[in-house]
Amino acid sequence: MEKFNFKNLILGAMALCSIGLAGCEDDTPDYNEFNYYKTYPLKELSAEAKVVRDYVKNDIVIAHRGSTFWAPEETEAAFRWARNMGADYLEIDLQRTKDGVLLALHDDNLRRTSNIESVFPGKEDYPVSYFTLAELRKLDAGAWFNVAVPENARESFVGEKISTLEEVMKIAEGYRIKRDVNGEPVKDMTRLTEAGEWAGYYEFEADPQDNGNRPGVYAETKEPYLFSGMEADLAKFLTAEGWNVTASPKTIPTTPGKVDVANTNGRFILQSFSRQSIVNLERELPGVPKCMLLWEDESASYVRPSNTIESLAEFINFSVEYNCHIVGPSIEGKPNGYPDLTEPWMCEMYHRAGMLIHAYSFDTEDQLRKYNGDYFYGGVSRFEDPNRTVQGNFNYDVNSNMFIDGGFTNLTDLSMNYQKREVIGTAQEVLDALGY
Residues that bind other proteins (CB under 8 A): 7, 10-11, 14-15, 17-22, 24, 26, 28, 30-31, 36, 40-41, 109, 125-127, 129-130, 223-225, 274-276, 279, 299-301, 304, 307, 310-311, 313-315, 318
- Which 8-state DSSP code applies to residue 57? P
The contacts of residue 147 (CB under 8 Å, 6+ apart) are 153
Q: How far apart are CA 113 and CA 65, in angstroms?
A: 12
Looking at the Cβ atoms of 306 and 387, the one nearer to other proteins is 306
Looking at the Cβ atoms of 184 and 298, the one nearer to other proteins is 298
Taking phi over 0 as left and psi of -120 to 50 as alpha, with beta for the rest, 257 belongs to: left
Q: Residue 30 is which amino acid?
A: D
Looking at the Cβ atoms of 42 and 149, the one nearer to other proteins is 42
Smallest separation (angstroms) from other proteins to the CB of 214: 35
Looking at the Cβ atoms of 123 and 421, the one nearer to other proteins is 123
Smallest separation (angstroms) from other proteins to the CB of 233: 18
CB atoms within 10 A of CB 299: 9
**Helix (H), strand (E) at residue 433:** helix 427-433
Is 91:407 a contact under the CB 8 Å cutoff?
no
Name the nearest CA neighbour of 230 among 361, 120, 327, 105: 105
Rg of the chain taking only CA atoms, in angstroms: 26
3-state secondary structure of 217: strand
Name the nearest CA neighbour of 243 among 278, 215, 271, 220: 215
Looking at the Cβ atoms of 128 and 172, the one nearer to other proteins is 128
Looking at the Cβ atoms of 86 and 329, the one nearer to other proteins is 329
Looking at the Cβ atoms of 20 and 150, the one nearer to other proteins is 20
Smallest separation (angstroms) from other proteins to the CB of 195: 24
For strand 175-177 and strand 204-206, is the pairing parallel, antiparallel, or unpaired? antiparallel
Work out the burial of residue 30: count CB atoms within 10 Å of its CB; fewer than 13 is exposed, 13-18 middle, 19 or more buried.
exposed
Q: How far apart are CA 116 and CA 138, in angstroms?
A: 9
- Indicate the length of the chain as a whole number: 436
Looking at the Cβ atoms of 309 and 355, the one nearer to other proteins is 309
Smallest separation (angstroms) from other proteins to the CB of 392: 29
CB atoms within 10 A of CB 26: 7
Q: How far apart are CA 196 and CA 209, in angstroms?
A: 34
Smallest separation (angstroms) from other proteins to the CB of 288: 19
End-to-end Cα distance, the chain: 108
Looking at the Cβ atoms of 91 and 231, the one nearer to other proteins is 231
Looking at the Cβ atoms of 50 and 283, the one nearer to other proteins is 283
Alpha-carbon distances, residue 435 vs 48, 80, 202, 305, 431 (angstroms): 45, 11, 19, 47, 7
Looking at the Cβ atoms of 100 and 333, the one nearer to other proteins is 100
- In DSSP notation, 384-432 reads T-TT----S--SS---GGGS-SEEEES-HHHHHHHTT---SS-HHHHHH
Smallest separation (angstroms) from other proteins to the CB of 422: 43
Smallest separation (angstroms) from other proteins to the CB of 431: 35
Is 383:419 a contact under the CB 8 Å cutoff?
yes
Smallest separation (angstroms) from other proteins to the CB of 6: 10
Q: Residue 231 is which amino acid?
A: E
Smallest separation (angstroms) from other proteins to the CB of 113: 17
Looking at the Cβ atoms of 178 and 304, the one nearer to other proteins is 304
Smallest separation (angstroms) from other proteins to the CB of 277: 8
Name the nearest CA neighbour of 165 among 238, 251, 88, 272: 238
Smallest separation (angstroms) from other proteins to the CB of 63: 30
Q: How far apart are CA 315 and CA 301, in angstroms?
A: 9
Smallest separation (angstroms) from other proteins to the CB of 425: 43
